[in-house]
Structure 1
């Protein structure tokens, strides 16, 4: 059984890869692939009821629709937001993603916090 206490829900595989490259602690990352059925949502809610759930989706129409859907099932979840200028989590620079995660008290690789990370 998965012992990780922290779980992040994202839209796609590229979002997951971006976040994994920045995080410096074990967090289970679940991809919805943009949509999620009500049945799967209820299964996840049961599975994650005792976990710290974070939600980080794209700053676009489909991301906001998914966020509303997730908010209903995970009303205790911590909602993270990337700057609308980047639109997609995968398109956001790592230093921006790191600062978003850090504000949620998640551990990130410090290299991404160094003054705009020299373009990383």
Structure 2
């Protein structure tokens, strides 16, 4: 099931998406939730991105709203893998590129090797 274009990373916001895009080289679709998800928006994401049939990675902030979103996504997408940023950085957007690249590569997502030095 793992084709490069079959990977989806779910993040909270555009700044998170930009930070992830800086470090990855893999063909990955990055989906922004813009915070918590209602039932309709979640159904729309499931259908639009065929999340039940893709390799899904959840990468959200280590704060109250991020943890709440992670729990919601974990219920709806039990096959999803979780990528965590250190609670020291709290937010994906403020996580240093090197730390983010290390977390991503641990889930078999290709990153620019410059960020792994």
TM-score in same-fold range (> 0.5): yes
CA distance in 2, matches of 1:4, 1:40: 23
Q: 1:11-61: CA deviations, max 9, x gaps?
A: 000000000010011100000111211122123234221110000000011
1:28 aligns with 2:25: no
**Larger deviation, residues 32-41 vs 62-71:** 32-41
Kept after mapping to 2: 8 A contact 1:22/1:108? yes
2:16 partner SS: helix
Which ranges of structure 1 fall in alignment gaps of 5 or more residues? 115-120
List 4+ stretches of structure 1 deviating above 6 A: none
How does the TM-score come out when normalised to structure 2? 0.91
* Equivalent position of 1:78 in the other structure: 81
Aligned residues: 112
1:44 aligns with 2:45: yes
1:7 aligns with 2:8: yes
* Equivalent position of 1:118 in the other structure: none
**Larger deviation, residues 46-55 vs 88-97:** 46-55
1:65 aligns with 2:86: no
CA distance in 2, matches of 1:65, 1:50: 24
How does the TM-score come out when normalised to structure 1? 0.89
* Equivalent position of 2:106 in the other structure: 103
CA distance in 2, matches of 1:52, 1:40: 20
* Larger Cα-atom Rg: 1
Kept after mapping to 2: 8 A contact 1:7/1:53? yes
CA distance in 1, matches of 2:107, 2:91: 19
Which ranges of structure 2 fall in alignment gaps of 5 or more residues? none
